[in-house]
Amino acid sequence: MAKDKSFDSIANKFSRNIYGTAKGQIREAVLQRDLQAEIPWLGQDGSKRILDVGGGQGQLALFLAGLGHHVTLIDISEDMLAIANKRAAELGLSERLETIHAPLQALATLSLGKFDLVLCHAVLEWLVDQQAAVALLKDALQPTGYLSLMYYNKDAKRLANILYGNFDYVQADLKVKKKVSLNPNQPLDPKAVALWLQQLNLTVISKTGVRCFHDYMRDQEKAATAFEQLLAFELEYNQQEPYASIGRYTHLVCQHA
What values do phi and psi take at 40, rounded to 5? -65, -30
Per the DSSP assignment, residues forming a β-bridge with 153 are: 188
Radius of gyration of the chain (CA): 18
Are 61 and 67 within 8 A, CB to CB? no
Please tell me whether residue 205 adopts helix, strand or coil conformation: strand
Distances (CA, A) of 229 to 30, 213, 236, 249: 14, 11, 11, 20
Residues marked as binding for S-adenosyl-L-methionine?
27, 54-55, 75, 121
Residues marked as binding?
27, 54-55, 75, 121
In 3D, which of 35, 25, 13 has the Cα closest to residue 214? 25
Are 118 and 137 within 8 A, CB to CB? yes
CA 52 distance to own-chain centroid: 10
